[in-house]
A = this chain, B = another copy of it.
């Protein structure tokens, strides 16, 4: 297999993985492109390599920056912006975990907690089962919350070499 083929296949696969997880295909493809780029790329590089419009490239690059998966790099003497991906896959995973927890998991936990406050507090068979479900989701979510928070904290500490702080 030639390098170019492999590159295209990786970008393709990363894009498919993205869509399967509710992430815009193009955003995932740009991420793939930057992950394997030895040097930071500019918007035109991304547009050309993925054959996408300026607007599309710009929007998805911003989104990747929001997720902290990509950094803006300014080269001395150059007007335009360059983009560089976080290359450490473990850090990438932690970014994604944190982001999704914040955007999707936390709101769900809040909703479920609120939904326990129904007027008829389990008087009917239906509302009793409902409360039961809300409670078990809440219990599970709280454990998950702690586990993820702990995981992210442990990783951060591992990276900064300050694992000891955890035991203070």
Q: Are A2 and B36 in contact (CB-based, < 8 A)?
A: no
Q: Please, which residue of chain B has its CB at the minimum distance from the CB of A136?
A: B89
Whether A104 contacts B22 in the complex (CB less than 8 A), given A120-B3, A129-B36, A137-B89, comes out as no
| CB of A160 within 8 Å of the partner chain | no
Please judge, given known A-B contacts A19-B22, A36-B133, A130-B36, whether A2 and B140 are in contact too, CB under 8 Å.
Answer: no
Given contacts A13-B108, A108-B13, contact A115 B6 (CB under 8 A): yes
Residues of B within 8 A of A108 (CB): 13, 17
A21-37, CB under 8 A of B: which get 1 and which 0?
A: 11100000000000111
Copies of this chain: 2
Beyond contacts A13-B108, A22-B22: 20 other A-B pairs, Cβ-Cβ < 8 A, are: A2-B118, A3-B118, A3-B119, A3-B120, A3-B126, A3-B130, A6-B115, A6-B118, A7-B130, A9-B115, A10-B111, A17-B108, A20-B100, A21-B22, A35-B133, A36-B130, A38-B129, A87-B136, A89-B136, A89-B140
